[in-house]
Amino acid sequence: MDRRVTKKGDDDASGKERPTLKTLAFMTGLGVTTVSRALKDAPEIGAETRRRVQLVAKQIGYRPNRAGVRLRTGKTNVISLVLNTEHELMSFVSDIIYGVTEVIADTPYHLIVTPYSRSQDPLDPVRYLVETGSADGVIISRTQPNDPRARYMLEHGIPFATHGRTDMGLVHPYHDFDNYAFAGEAVRYLAGRGRNRLALVTPPVGLTYYRHTVNGFADALSEVGASEVPFNTVSIDQSIEQIRMRTAQLMRRKDRPDGFVSSAAAATLAVVAGIEDAGLKLGRDVDVVSKQSSELLHLFRRELLVVNENFRLAGSELARAVLGWIGGADPGTLQSLSTPSEVLPYRG
């Protein structure tokens, strides 16, 4: 859970009192009410006055007192990003945070990350945020088809957005990556390179995008006439060492695959290690198409084939969705879906 501890005296640690609305009013020669409205971009305050007040506020380091704001408005000016940090690998966390903060930078809102662990019920941190009134809006990931967190927040009237879609027949904001299209495009690309025995490294079974990925993979296999080599003992949530070991076991079989589709870059590193443990060469004996959110994979092995997924864009879209719902927009208009890039070989 998010915990912030402010020690007595932190606000005046430099020996100066914290600037207040009265400070701003004194420095600008305006009334407190006028200053307050100017900071909120109230249209009844002239543009020049708003600019002057906001410039002085920036110069003296004025920040609204959150406790006071909450008492007056019932708002916290907080967006909470709830993350299972044990499962979020590579650049996911930093990119999502970057995308969210980029959008909220010019708003009164700021971001708090609320982590939870594998041993916790994913509903626990959401319930905490709602029951304590710690945030005005919430962003969640690892979305399930019938997600109890989404249902709970809908029942309690809390604006939120999900990274991924639910399948509950309930309308809410989301941003998702089209994993059905990704898996299908990967299969078609591998088939175009003469690969016809393909294995899939899936997302975790309980998440919605597992279904999208598996269905896209299966439909494309039928389309191109390729066959699946089952790899059901592996998902991207497993450790790198587990994926490496099971890949090596699979690749030592006579009926081994000649192509992989991987749902995450971290898992792909382990798949490549397993392929090489089995004495096989990437690009000659087997091809791998993998999602990635950074340029890492071609630095690791140039033979890898990649599809880009933009987590910064996801963070931005999720932040816009939550702010839109807080602002009164129809949740059904706050849904977005990213299409995958083309499959990219190494281009030097």
pLDDT digits (tens, 9 = 90+) for 239-295: 999 999 999 999 999 999 999 999 999 999 999 999 999 999 999 999 999 999 988
Maximum mean pLDDT: which of 14-18, 158-162, 296-300: 158-162
Q: For all residues of the chain together, what is the average pLDDT?
A: 90
Tokens of 164: 């991924």
For residue 66, the model assigns a pLDDT of 60
Q: Is the pLDDT of residue 90 over 60?
A: no
For residue 4, the model assigns a pLDDT of 41
Sheet containing 174-177: order of strands: 110-116, 78-84, 137-140, 160-163, 174-177, 335-338
How many residues does this entry show for the chain?
348
Q: Is the pLDDT of residue 3 over 70?
A: no
Q: Is the pLDDT of residue 41 over 70?
A: yes
- pTM, rounded to two decimals: 0.81
Q: Is the pLDDT of residue 70 over 80?
A: no
For residue 16, the model assigns a pLDDT of 60
The mean-pLDDT minimum among 15-24, 178-187, 251-260 falls in: 15-24
For residue 6, the model assigns a pLDDT of 40
For residue 36, the model assigns a pLDDT of 83
Q: How many CA atoms lie within 13 A of 226 on its CB side?
A: 29
Residue with structure tokens 């709970």? 152
For residue 316, the model assigns a pLDDT of 98
d(CA 186, CA 193): 11
Q: Taking the chain, what is the end-to-end CA distance rounded to the nearest angstrom?
A: 44
Q: Directed axis angle between helix 208-224 and helix 179-192, to 10°?
A: 30
- What is the phi/psi pair of residue 65, to 5°? -75, 115
For residue 244, the model assigns a pLDDT of 98
Judged on CB neighbours under 10 Å (0-12, 13-18, 19+), 171 is middle
Q: Which residues of 208-231 are buried (b: 16+ CB within 10 A; e: fewer)?
A: bbbbbbbebbeebbeebebeebeb
d(CA 330, CA 312): 24
For residue 10, the model assigns a pLDDT of 43
Q: Is the pLDDT of residue 15 over 60?
A: no
Q: Tell me the mean pLDDT in the region 307-325.
A: 97
For residue 68, the model assigns a pLDDT of 58
For residue 2, the model assigns a pLDDT of 45
Beta strands, E only, 71-203 = 78-84, 110-116, 137-140, 160-163, 174-177, 197-201
Q: Which residues contact 251 (CB under 8 A, 6 or more apart)?
A: 257, 274, 275, 277, 278, 280, 286
d(CA 330, CA 328): 7
Q: Which residues contact 331 (CB under 8 A, 6 or more apart)?
A: 171, 172, 173, 325
Reported confidence tier of residue 37, pLDDT bands at 50, 70, 90: confident
Q: How many CA atoms lie within 13 A of 340 on its CB side?
A: 22
Q: Is the pLDDT of residue 92 over 90?
A: no
Q: Is the pLDDT of residue 7 over 50?
A: no
Q: Please, are residues 259 and 199 in contact by the beta-carbon 8 Å criterion?
A: yes
